[in-house]
Structure 1
Amino acid sequence: MTATRHAVPTMRAQRFRKATRQWAIEEIPVPEPGPGEVLVKVAYCGICHSDLSLIDGVFGGADVPDVVTQGHEAAGTIASIGPGVTGWAVGDRVIPAAGRPCGVCEYCRRADFGNCSNIRLMAFAYDGAWAEYTVAQAVGLTRVPDSVPLDQAAILADAVSTPFGAVVRTGKVAIGEAVGVWGVGGVGTHIVQLARLVGANPIVAFDLDEEIRGRALAVGADFAFDSRDPDVKAKVAEVTKGHLLDVAFDAVGLKATFEQGLDLLTAGGRIVGVGLSAQKVSLGTTAAFGLSRKQALGHLGYKNEDIGTLVDLVAAGRLDLSRSISGVVGLDDLADGIRRLHEHEGNPIRILVQP
């Protein structure tokens, strides 16, 4: 009598190969959740510029495995639960955290996982969610109420939470402070919305594209200027009653945008670098910088609890992300979604994958 072999369940997933920087949609085994993990059936996953940076070869360090599934802004429902998981059930609507603490650094050793110095990034160090299923640590999940659409929930895990961290934690924007935002795309749009939510006044958006400047006004900016305008500093002075900006957020990350933001700060103002590039910036002479009392701050990421705060804000109607979903593609059309973001076709805020 021969034993019956049971077929391993499979799923469709995007698979990126580091050596060739090529990717394809493949049929692979559905992963099994291990101790402390859950299997999430992916409803939506965003396409982010950092995903493009891996494909383009801008990013790709030793932590990236030879083959990896991309996509780190996900939401879905729990499909199965691994050993030792409590407090969660199959069918729960969740957002997986987009990173896992290393467990060995000085912060992790004292259970301060939010400040892990060697955090492993989803879709870079381990498989992400451009797939039908993804495995997530139960301790990093955020519950999503029925009132919050899963497409909006997905983008909370970076496109909105990173701006939240920039505005609330790094920039520490206070009520009534004048705020400038350079680049009103996937990150800058949400910086504008969150700055308005915490009471910034006025909010000034800067972008080269007239259509994007109009969109910035629609989501909460008070003024929107072309950063190439030779009179832009005078215009900022006019709308701030001569004060200039208390906080400047550079969501582009170029030398020109960072240094213009620094120049438009009032004495003691803060510039927060959110956008990333390989370009070098200058703070001017140490004498001028010291006398100005300005601060230059770098920002990256968020804390997991920030996602829960954002879920509550969306559920309460305080934060409207309906404009942020610029399109949805299936796995078969993933290449077109990547192209649209890469070429800025239609100036998308977020294009989502629906596996």
Structure 2
Amino acid sequence: MIIASAPTTMRAAVLYGPGDLRVVDRPVPRPGPEDVLVRVEMCGACGTDLKIVDGHFPQTPPFGEFTPGHEWTGVVVETGSTVDEFQPGDRVCIEAHRGCGRCANCLVGRYTACLNYGNPAKGHRASGMTANGGFAEYVVHHVSALYHLPAELSAEDAVLITTAGTGLYGLDVAGGYIVGQDVAIFGPGPVGLMTAQVCRAMGAARVILVGTRPSRLELGAKLGVRHTINSSEVDPVRAVLELTGEQGVDLAIEASGGLGTPQQCAEVTKRGGKILFVAFYRDSVQLDLSAVVRKDITMYTSRGEGRNNVQRAVALAASGQLRGKELVTHRFPLDQIAEAFRVMREREGDPVKVVVVP
């Protein structure tokens, strides 16, 4: 079904080599039977995109063919022949990952760990990672990884919903039930800030946000986090222990990617507690694993937004318990995407979430 004829060509950012991202004319993709063609309203950029653009991310399509961008939102333009869940004109947000739907992991909702990851012949797609993504005017996406966007949510909110799904999935993997528990979150970037809001919504007793940039900690406080710690000014381990009566937190969430932060997580987690890792690291980390074992701490990792947690994020955002728009600090038109990435890389103007608008 078509609401209005899409053009035959579009503008899209194509990666031609490490650091060589060019905005060029490309054919508008056509949806298959289970696909939806979406006109992109906005696409967020994140640290993973920096790795992709630098050529340091595995299983991306060949240079000269690939469009990154995995945090996008838009309006349905055309639906495939079997799609009746969406209609042209619907506003949508996404899960970046669409598993193959046939492997053991996908069947239990762990499609971000799909055993056929990167194999399009078996149905796997990760928008902007292993398949063309949202730094373009139009993008095709599988119907199973799309969600209706409620009218009260803006495009800025929508580009952070996938990010919130990452935090929700991590909490899901780590057991999910945090009512009345103390949680420390290291790294007040977009993942950390959205996860902090999720923890408040899920009834955590204390949510403690740890970081080095005052502006991000202030933003966390505006979003409802009562306890913030600037680890460039005080010893974060000592500060967390003082807040928790020397016992430590029930759950430490590592969202910073700092090489020394996993050790800090181990030191602030109480005996029998948990550590959740959702960050990627530029190099090997150092961690006193014997101390983790002595304290009987359980460690979890999660990648992306599995187990339908984006749908949960949509519900939380629609109820006002998740605020994404306030994280969007910089906007660039698609033709200035190189400048957007420069601002991110150099942290010019203290960006939190940079978005690109086709």
Same fold (TM over 0.5): yes
1:275 alignment counterpart: 279
Matched-pair contact (CA < 8 Å) for 1:185–1:348? no
Q: 1:68 aligns with which of 66, 69, 78?
A: 66
Task: Give the counterpart of 2:39 among 31, 38, 41.
Answer: 41
The residue aligned with 2:188 is: 184
Task: State TM-score, norm by structure 1.
Answer: 0.89
Residue of structure 2 aligned with 1:313, choices 309, 313, 316: 316
Residue equivalent to 2:50: 52
Q: Is the CA contact 1:69–1:129 (under 8 Å) kept in the aligned structure 2?
A: yes
State the alpha-carbon separation in 2 of the partners of residues 328 and 11 from structure 1.
20
CA–CA distance in 1 between the matches of 2:307 and 2:168? 11
Distance, in Å, in 2 between the alignment partners of 1:281 and 1:292 is: 20
- CA pair 210-33 structure 1, distance change in 2 beyond 3 A: same
TM-aligned CA deviation for residue 23 of structure 1: 1.4
User: Percent of counterpart pairs with the same letter?
Assistant: 29
Measure, in 2, the Cα distance between the counterparts of 1:128 and 1:337.
17
Contact 1:98 1:122 in 2 (8 A): yes
2:160 & 2:241 partners in 1: Cα distance? 35
Counterparts of residues 1-355 of structure 1 (less than 5 Å): 9-18=8-17, 20-59=18-57, 61-66=58-63, 67-108=65-106, 114=111, 116-119=114-117, 120-157=125-162, 159-170=163-174, 172-229=176-233, 231-284=235-288, 286=290, 288-303=291-306, 305-355=308-358
Q: Is the 8 A contact 1:75 1:153 kept in 2?
A: yes
* CA-CA distance at 1:104 after TM superposition: 4.9
Structure 2 distance, partners of 1:283, 1:192, is 24
1:106 Cα deviation from its structure 2 partner: 3.5
Deviations 1:142-175 (A, max 9, x none): 1112121122112212x22111212343363511
Aligned-residue offset at 1:10: 0.7
Please say if residues 44 and 151 of structure 1, whose CA atoms lie closer than 8 Å, have aligned partners that are also in contact.
yes
| Alignment partners' CA distance in 2, 1:330 and 1:153 | 18
Moved more, 344-353 or 253-262: 344-353
Aligned CA distance change for structure 1 residues 163 and 88 (closer, same or farther; 3 Å): same
TM-score, normalising length: structure 2: 0.89
Q: Is the 8 A contact 1:38 1:135 kept in 2?
A: yes
Residues 235 and 113 of structure 1: CA distance in aligned 2, closer, same or farther (over 3 Å)? closer
Q: Which runs of 5+ in 2 are unaligned?
A: 1-5, 118-124
Matched residues in 2 for 1:101 and 1:274: separation?
Answer: 19
Tell me which structure has the larger Cα radius of gyration: 1
Q: Contact 1:65/1:124 (CA < 8 Å) preserved in 2?
A: no
Mapped contact 2:59–2:129 kept (Cα < 8 A): no
SS of 1:172's partner is coil
Amino acid corresponding to residue 39 of structure 2 in structure 1: K
Partner of residue 121, structure 2: none
Tell me, in whole angstroms, the C-alpha distance in 1 between the residues paired with 2:307 and 2:78. Answer: 22
Partner of 1:4: none
Q: 1:344 to 1:21 in 2, by over 3 A?
A: closer
Residues in 2 aligned to 1:111 and 1:182: alpha-carbon distance in whole angstroms = 29
| Structural RMSD (CA) | 2.2
Distance in structure 2 (CA, Å) of the matches to 1:69 and 1:63: 9
Aligned length: 344
SS of the residue 2:209 aligns to: strand
Distance change (3 Å), C-alpha of 1:329 and 1:241: same
SS at match of 1:187: helix
| Separation (CA, whole Å) in 2 of partners of 1:264 and 1:339 | 35
Contact 2:30/2:37 (CA < 8 Å) preserved in 1? yes
Once the two structures are TM-superposed, the CA of residue 55 in structure 1 deviates from its matched residue by 1.3
Question: What SS is found at the alignment partner of 1:255?
Answer: coil
The Cα offsets for residues 152-207 of structure 1, whole Å up to 9 and x where unpaired, read as: 112212x2211121234336351121111111011111121111111222222211
Distance in 1 (alpha carbons) for counterparts of 2:158 and 2:319 = 14
Query: Which moves more between the two structures, 99-108 or 195-204?
Result: 99-108
Q: Does the CA-based 8 Å contact 1:143-1:308 persist in structure 2?
A: no
Q: Distance in 1 between matches of 2:220 and 2:96?
A: 27
Distance 2:237 2:159 in 1: 37
Determine the C-alpha separation between the residues in 2 that align with 1:55 and 1:142: 27
Paired with 1:346 and 1:137, the residues of 2 have a C-alpha distance of 36
